[in-house]
Structure 1
Amino acid sequence: MKPFKTYDEQIDKLSDVGLLPKYINTPTGPNINGPVRITIHNPFKKDVTERAIRMHALQHSKAYVIELLQTYGYYNIINQYNKPFLSDNGYIDDIDFFKLYSVQQVDTRIKNLIFYPILQIEQRLKTCMAYEFAKAYGPFDGDSIINYQEPYLNSNNYTHSLKTKDHKLKHILLINRLKKLYKDTTYKPFNHYRSAHGHIPIWIFINKLTFGEMLHFYEVLKIQNNISSFFNLTPSQLRTCMLFLNQVRNDCAHFSSFINQDYPMLKKDLPLLVDFIKNYNLNSQKQITNIFRLLIVFKYLLPSNPYDSFIHAVDKDVFSMIYSKYIPVISEYMQGILMAPTQKSYKDKLNFLLTK
């Protein structure tokens, strides 16, 4: 059992494991320069370790640490990012609270950058699915509203072969979920179309679906080829891209880690993935870090102009930043986990994706 700990007790725990110094007082102003760097100098009249200097600099940071714990939570700063910095005897010597916090801040910066493009892709997928579904199943001019059944509630428009692990038919589960959503009387677009047109067309209804519900909708469609071909993908290639993005989207929305998360594998025959592996002499996509797998997925699902803009934003706000603000241990770790051992290396990879 994990017992409740006050912020002071959390501070004591961080001090006990060596991530913070033992505090003597609680002044109001920390000696901190920005969220990821600490301005430090050697106050001693002899050579001491970098850790000793940092612990001295952190003596007046207790109020700021409590503020960070109140904002992000102990788990979201420590437990989500500490694994690479643990040894058999606890933490390695060159790590402390603010170095872990700097990893969290870089990860947060990445998640803030990637969340909006994922929302763009979600809307693009929904628009494409609604267009192809309506083109295949209507409604069409001349259809009667009398006894009309929405095509997305008609089981004949879905494949019947897919089952869950507990042997339930996926299309039946989907339709039951869609029926519940259809009854929503609080969503103004639904109310308008019911009142003005007597039904809710798919291009309105699909906006109410979550990313996960949209994925389930796609999985049981008979017209997957019509949708995936729009993105120059096969149905299974698009499905793995959506599975990947669904989890990334959830992690961004719920403050989970992105950089060190295990995400679903993309389809092995995805052309750009194959080219990337070959060009950089990799054995498999497991060697491709999350940021570059995401950029490969974005290449297929984002329009070209937003994609180009996103590449430049990632270069400026993430990759360039980890080189311009050196933090011992952390900068080397970030360069590794972002697949950017040198500036030339990451710029080459970004350019490779831009020009493909």
Structure 2
Amino acid sequence: MAKKKYTKPPLSFQDQITQLQGRNLTIANPAKATAYLQSISYYRLSAYFLLYQQVKDTFNAGTTFTQIVQTYMFDKELRLLVFDCIERLEIAIRTQFIYCMALHYNDAHWQDNQALFINPFYNRVGALVDPYNDLQGIISRAKTNRKPEVFIKHYIDNYNSPANPPSWMCLELLTMGELSHIYRGLRNNSDKKRIASFFDVHHTVFKSWLHTLTYVRNLCAHHSRLWNRDLAIEPDRLLKPVGNWVGSRYQNNKRMFYFLCVIKYMLNRANPTNTLTQKIDDLFKKYPTVPVQYLGIPSDGNGNLLNWKNEPLWQ
């Protein structure tokens, strides 16, 4: 398709209100709507317009500005809930990573053993993949930082050998993405299996889930939309669950609800008393006008959503 010149002009807040009204959106309180546009922006809200428009740039009859804002607020609260869950999982993953490697090799400084990591290679886009040296670089920068973490400073002030702090200090420096990268970079599948076994997941599935956790964590950190999103990095399907899981109709791993199932499955191992089912149910009830089916919750074929709470995983 031939490209064209972008010619849309900037609009004042009043012109934005006028445009929305001209597109059949009901705005009961224009002053309040203007305040929302001033703090959120028209463009950011527009991501929530599409499913309320069967015809492009024309809102379905009866659609209100309040309904759009409610959808936006629902997504915001979902994002905060997911972000909190990922934080809990990140800490548990880091703990198992450290524990399994240090205990198995009886070595507090296993992260400095290059033999435990894959050999460097260039990927399909020509970038060097070198997990061992990437990890060493993170540790080195932490040690030479003008204001190092307190635990790093304590080590370098009190010990001269080994050169690096123990693994339980070093891995605290890693982000979720860096944990995922270092996990993929372990040479031995047996090491990966030991770490993944805590979560009752095959190590290849666990590797995929770490990648998706990183991706969604970054979406949350940048305040990006979760509602009505196709996941660019899909979590592998869990084909051989240990314990409670969801039925075949819930296997759309391109959508957010499958990812919520992944979080729940992992939390059930890391925090068996978690209340994620209740929190999601409360969120859905708080915003009854938001079409939650666009998270990927399946229907019965007649337009009725299946009761996700009846699935063994969520009970």
Per the shorter chain, which TM-score range?
0.7 to 0.9
Match in the other structure for 1:152: 111
Match in the other structure for 2:276: 310
Q: Does 1:227 align with 2:195?
A: yes
Deviation at 1:216, TM superposition (A): 0.6
Deviation at 1:157, TM superposition (A): 2.4
Cα pair 2:297 2:306 within 8 Å, conserved: no
Q: Does 1:83 align with 2:33?
A: no
Match in the other structure for 1:14: 20
**C-alpha deviations, 1:43-90, integer Å up to 9, x for none?**
xxxxxxxxxxx55xx1xx233223222332323222x22222334452
Moved more, 255-264 or 298-307: 298-307
Match in the other structure for 2:173: 208
Q: Does 1:180 align with 2:186?
A: no
Cα pair 1:171 1:220 within 8 Å, conserved: yes
In terms of Rg, which structure is larger? 1
**C-alpha deviations, 1:257-290, integer Å up to 9, x for none?**
112222222223542499856x34x3x8327741
Which letter does structure 1 place at the counterpart of 2:292?
M
Which letter does structure 1 place at the counterpart of 2:178?
E
Cα separation, 1, equivalents of 2:118 and 2:228: 36
Match in the other structure for 1:265: 234
Residue from 130, 139, 144 that aligns with 1:170: 130
Match in the other structure for 1:298: 264
Cα separation, 2, equivalents of 1:209 and 1:7: 43
SS, match of residue 160 in structure 1: coil
Residue from 189, 195, 210 that aligns with 2:151: 189
Q: Judging changes above 3 Å, is the alpha-carbon distance between structure 1 residues 346 and 321 closer, same or farther for their aligned structure 2 residues?
A: farther
Q: Does 1:93 align with 2:60?
A: yes
Cα separation, 2, equivalents of 1:354 and 1:116: 18
Identity of aligned residues (%): 20
Q: Does 1:104 align with 2:72?
A: yes
**C-alpha deviations, 1:174-223, integer Å up to 9, x for none?**
24642334432422221112112344222112122111111111110132
Match in the other structure for 1:144: none
Cα separation, 2, equivalents of 1:182 and 1:307: 38
Q: Judging changes above 3 Å, is the alpha-carbon distance between structure 1 residues 293 and 167 closer, same or farther for their aligned structure 2 residues?
A: closer
Cα separation, 2, equivalents of 1:305 and 1:169: 33
Cα pair 1:240 1:266 within 8 Å, conserved: yes
Deviation at 1:114, TM superposition (A): 2.0
Cα separation, 2, equivalents of 1:127 and 1:287: 27
SS, match of residue 286 in structure 1: coil
Q: How many residues align?
A: 294
Which letter does structure 2 place at the counterpart of 1:112?
L
* Structure 1 length-normalised TM: 0.71
Cα separation, 2, equivalents of 1:234 and 1:340: 26
Cα separation, 2, equivalents of 1:98 and 1:295: 30
Q: Judging changes above 3 Å, is the alpha-carbon distance between structure 1 residues 196 and 13 closer, same or farther for their aligned structure 2 residues?
A: farther
Deviation at 1:338, TM superposition (A): 5.2
Where structure 1 has 5 or more consecutive residues not aligned to the other structure, the ranges are 20-53, 141-149
Which letter does structure 2 place at the counterpart of 1:242?
L
Match in the other structure for 1:45: none
Identify, as 1 or 2, the structure richer in helix.
Answer: 1
Moved more, 85-94 or 100-109: 85-94
Give the root-mean-square deviation of aligned CA atoms: 3.1
Deviation at 1:226, TM superposition (A): 1.8
Deviation at 1:227, TM superposition (A): 0.9
Q: Judging changes above 3 Å, is the alpha-carbon distance between structure 1 residues 173 and 108 closer, same or farther for their aligned structure 2 residues?
A: same
Q: Judging changes above 3 Å, is the alpha-carbon distance between structure 1 residues 229 and 219 closer, same or farther for their aligned structure 2 residues?
A: same
Moved more, 222-231 or 182-191: 182-191
